[in-house]
Copies of this chain bind each other. A is one copy, B any other.
């Protein structure tokens, strides 16, 4: 058995998310089918985490154990030829037996892309979120720093009955813009359900003056979800990078 690490890009707009579900088109399902078509092995492709319906990935990571001995380079090419156009394997690497895409992950970086105001584009709708109000860019950039460090993010997630520990550490939060298109890039040791979409919605709601800096500080202290901002749509969200210990 070899343990392989895959780095995967996908456009989430036509998937019911990452996780395999009966009768639904999912990224995990497409990958496992392509691997079965190629090797006749029924493997489980373990992702670094699920992504929701409509969420994209530039660098999702998955691991899988497989008997097949095909050279790594051929394996990548053969899989890409079998996969649909909206999923692409960027890299295949051999890894240690104990490597697991989810349990070994140390850092994840998500990027949220959003158009501020103007007319929504029909062409690019699946690739970016939309926020119809004017926002104060410098204020959002400054307030994004409030999230850096270890915090209880209970006030910045949707309820998920599997979670009891809401502490996560944010290492970096960058806000940039190019014309009407704003980009929020956040790196952390892990994220709660809908957390990135709510962090971005909170900064935008602050940027337009609907929420105050004090609301953010209080939500971080008390875990009160009613003080934080809206949950942004999934279409602007990209899982950019997953990092592991060397």
| Chain A residues with a Cβ under 8 A of chain B | 9-11, 14, 56, 58, 85-88, 90, 119-127, 238
- Nearest Cβ distance between residue A162 and chain B, in whole angstroms? 29
Query: How distant is the Cα of A126 from the Cα of B124 in the complex, in angstroms?
Result: 10
Query: How distant is the Cα of A125 from the Cα of B56 in the complex, in angstroms?
Result: 13
A11 touches B85 (CB 8 A): no
Query: How distant is the Cα of A118 from the Cα of B87 in the complex, in angstroms?
Result: 16
Copies of this subunit:
2
Q: Which of A86, A90, A123 has the most CB of B within 10 A?
A: A123
Query: How distant is the Cα of A222 from the Cα of B127 in the complex, in angstroms?
Result: 44
Partner of A123, one of B123, B125, B127: B127
B58 touches A88 (CB 8 A): no
A88 touches B119 (CB 8 A): yes
Partner of A121, one of B14, B88, B119, B122: B88
B86 touches A9 (CB 8 A): no
Q: Which residues of B contact A123 (CB under 8 A)?
A: 9-11, 56, 58, 127, 238
Contacts A88-B119, A88-B120, A119-B90; A11 near B56 (Cβ below 8 A) = no
